[in-house]
Amino acid sequence: MDSSEATRDSASCWAAVKAGTAAVTELVGLLWQVQGADLGALLEALDAMTAVAGGARVAVVAEAESRGEISASQAGSTAGWVAEHAPTLAAGGGAGQVARLVRECARPDLRSVQAAAVSGR
């Protein structure tokens, strides 16, 4: 880890997430520039990013729940809070799945499952 990584804070990481989202959005329109042999590697990188982002969603929900943010909100439930803030999870029961994962993994015997989910594995 270099010194710039050691001094990062949540605000700079959040800005990097926003920049990454913008870059991926822009990349879709530029795929014609990617060499054919590089498309597989690009897909691998996007898949890794998606896995890590999915784990981060679980971590954010767990943090919000542990701080009481969800119970203090008007959402009515963890699944409702997730659906409100992550609309792509609202369809198809994804919000409920994340809420259940967070709730179940709060049990001490399932901490390893939570760690795996948060890491994107």
Q: How confident is the model at residue 5 (pLDDT cuts 50, 70, 90)?
A: low
**Each residue's pLDDT tens digit, 92-121:** 889 999 999 999 888 888 888 888 888 877
Plot region of 82 (φ>0 → left; ψ -120 to 50 → alpha; else → beta): alpha
Give me the pLDDT at residue 1, please.
47
CA-CA distance, 18 to 26, in Å (whole number)? 12
Q: How confident is the model at residue 2 (pLDDT cuts 50, 70, 90)?
A: low
Do 88 and 94 meet the contact criterion of CB atoms below 8 Å apart? yes
What percent of the chain has pLDDT above 90?
Answer: 74
Indicate the pTM of the whole model. Answer: 0.84
Q: How confident is the model at residue 91 (pLDDT cuts 50, 70, 90)?
A: confident
Which long-range contacts does 86-95 make (Cβ < 8 Å, 24+ apart)?
Answer: 86/57, 89/57
**Each residue's pLDDT tens digit, 44-67:** 999 999 999 999 999 999 999 999
